[in-house]
Structure 1
Amino acid sequence: MTASITLGGGPVRPVLCRNRGVPMQRRIFAKAGIAAAAVAVATAALAGPQAFAGEGPGAAVVAFAGHAKGPAPTEQSVGAQRGPFATDKLVVPAQAGRGFNKGTIYYPDDTSQGTFGAVAVIPGFLEGESAISWLGPTLASHGFVVLTLAPNATTDYPEPRSDQLLAAVDWLANQSPVKDRVDPARLAVAGHSMGGGGTLIAASKNPALKAAVPLAPWNLYSDFSDVTVPTLIVGAGRDFIAPAVMHATPMYNSLKAKQDQGYLKLKNADHFTTNRYDATVTAYTVSWLKRYVDEDTRYSQFLCPVKSGFQLTCPV
């Protein structure tokens, strides 16, 4: 599959949050984000920069920041359906009062490399968990704890889906059976269609999130200029359900003046292309999550250098 990729950047500008009925939630999350950031900075200062020497004697030492895990990435590895980590899974049954319905946790079975970043993923209108289930084992095998969700109702609009995503990542990091594997300061959200619209709303509500990946997003409004979370929007050129010109493109246009915002527009792709494994979608999603959730600068090379048709202030 071919793709035209537009990645946008620029200076971060303070933007007032639009009132979408949750100003208090956003303030609470913002305060939590400041606290999480302080913990992350203190931890990094104690740990210092990490260095990987590759394999074999005499291999070059490469220093980088962040929470890097796994072998040095390659063009082939970032788009692979299965990454370097073996994975396990747990079924999460429905439970009242938790804020989300049910789902499946996929996680690396390696306990020797510390905690991992976590991602919650929700499907779109009239879709079940199976619509986005491929992302579970794929992202987990690249070094993330992933919770794929069944929505509370398949007819839920983006707003309630955003609340389900936020409840899910919070539960995953603090109450789930795999909470000891999750770094609660490194959380991300993703979703398809109305779940993609919910992903952007979740990023608006909780600026402490490390990344957001809306896939073929649909929403009744497209102005997300208040979002500061690093966001990779994936649109489809032949999407007739959430046409990019009405959804993904204006959503990205509302973000692109800020740093660390990206737009991957897939040519010859429809609304449901991201509901199954795709090497291009995987390569950019994995690289984005690695760069911003793990702060692993080894993955910057797969977002940069700027190529024809790109617009990006490259992350370092």
Structure 2
Amino acid sequence: MPLHPRTLLRTPASGAPRRRAGRLAGAAAALAALVGLGTLSSPGAHAADNPYERGPDPTTAGIEAARGPYAVSQTTVSPLSVSGFGGGTVYYPTSTADGTFGAVAVAPGYTASQSSLSWLGPRLASQGFVVFTIDTLSTLDQPDARGRQLLAALDHLTQRSPVRSRVDAGRLGVMGHSMGGGASLAAAVSRPSLKAAIPLTPWNLDKTWPEVATPTLIIGADGDTVAPVTSHAEPFYTSLPGSLDRAYLELNSATHFAPNSPNTTIAKYSVSWLKRFIDDDTRYEQFLCPLPRPSLTIQEYRGNCPLS
């Protein structure tokens, strides 16, 4: 029961109550200081509000770095051990101290294999995700088929893979390049529970996607002659529901094959989008809103701000 202030102000000749008041006040101040320090320094402070936050407070340097705060391990998934897709490689944070992680499956483009996007695996995983770069059943598979394979890969990852205990099956996303990018849109339509989709220089004969309910970041390239933004990435973006959390990033001085080699701009905004929507981590919204301005690497950026 707290002491009434008037009790502390009564001062007999001995002065004992005043000294006791001083000690109590000092203890309270010390406790407040400790609590304050804990709030500032403890990585669990944010987690009290959002249990899905992973890693330290983000900085531009941190999300642009080739590797994030987590050490990464990997395991190969043989095509002979799975059904519905062509196997692949799983990259995941080595430590289990932070519990489970959100996950994302990544599909390659037409005639390509998972190796064409292998740089994304460890880069995203080191920021606190389980990442599955997959091979498709055929390198000639079309976007709808690749979309089904992305979902089959996520099902394998969460239900049968050796790292399934590290994955939160309720926090999943998809990515892909070219036809794999078109596939990520198809997968989002088929499974609205997905938390994020990121098509990279996407290609698809279907130009309208009003049925997508998954927060979607579309990344195009101004020099793309295989899937020109005017007939692919841009109409895909504009056809998404206006109420959807969506964004369109057009890379400056880049080609269709920009996602096939390490790219800081792709990584920075992919990490931010995945963190914001797979982890519901609002600490990363600062990199998405206000909308990034044109720069040496960004030709154009459109989107909805604030994000919901």
TM-score by length of 1: 0.79
* More off after superposition, 93-102 vs 226-235: 93-102
Aligned residue-pair number: 263
Match of 2:231 among 243, 246, 256: 246
CA distance in 2, matches of 1:140, 1:112: 15
Q: Does 1:160 align with 2:152?
A: no
Partners of 1:169 and 1:215 in 2: CA distance: 19
CA contact (8 A) 2:246 2:303 kept: no
Return the offset for 1:149. Answer: 0.7
Q: Does 1:304 align with 2:303?
A: no
CA positional deviation for 1:54:
4.5
Q: Which amino acid aligns with 1:108?
A: P
2:166 maps to a residue whose letter is R
How much does 1:55 deviate?
A: 3.4
Change (3 A) 1:271 1:178: same
State the SS of the aligned residue for 1:95. Answer: helix
Between the aligned partners of 1:67 and 1:202, the Cα distance in structure 2 is 23
Residue of structure 2 in register with 1:264 after alignment: 249
Specify the alignment match of 1:123 in structure 2. Answer: 108
2:220 aligns with one of 231, 235, 238: 235
- Superposed CA offset, 1:145-174 (max 9, x none): 011011110000101100100000111011
| Residue in structure 1 matched with residue 41 of structure 2 by the alignment | 55
- Name the SS for the 2:79 alignment partner: coil
Letter aligned with residue 264 of structure 1: L
Indicate conservation of the 8 Å contact 1:158/1:201, yes or no: yes
Which one has the largest radius of gyration? 2
Greater share of residues in helix: 2
Q: In 1, Cα distance between the equivalents of 2:290 and 2:211?
A: 27
Give the Cα–Cα distance (whole angstroms) in 1 for the partners of residues 39 and 266 of structure 2: 29
- The RMSD of aligned alpha carbons is 1.9
Q: 1:112 to 1:72 in 2, by over 3 A?
A: same
Corresponding residue of 2:20 = none
* TM-score normalised per structure 2: 0.81
**Aligned pairs (5 A) from 1:1-316:** 53-55=39-41, 64-95=49-80, 98-255=83-240, 257-308=242-293, 310-315=302-307
Map Cα deviations across residues 104-130 of structure 1 (whole Å, 9 max, x no partner).
010001101110001110100011111
Q: What residue ranges of structure 2 are gaps of 5+ in the alignment?
A: 1-37, 294-300
Q: Residue 231 of structure 1 aligns to which amino acid in structure 2?
A: T
Please give the secondary structure, in 2, of the residue aligned with 1:83: coil
Output the CA distance in 2 between the equivalents of 1:70 and 1:85.
8
The percentage of counterpart residues that share the same residue type is: 48
Moved more, 161-170 or 306-315: 306-315
Determine the C-alpha separation between the residues in 1 that align with 2:302 and 2:211: 23
Q: Which residue identity is paired with 1:214?
A: P
CA distance in structure 2 between the partners assigned to 1:227 and 1:207 by the alignment: 7
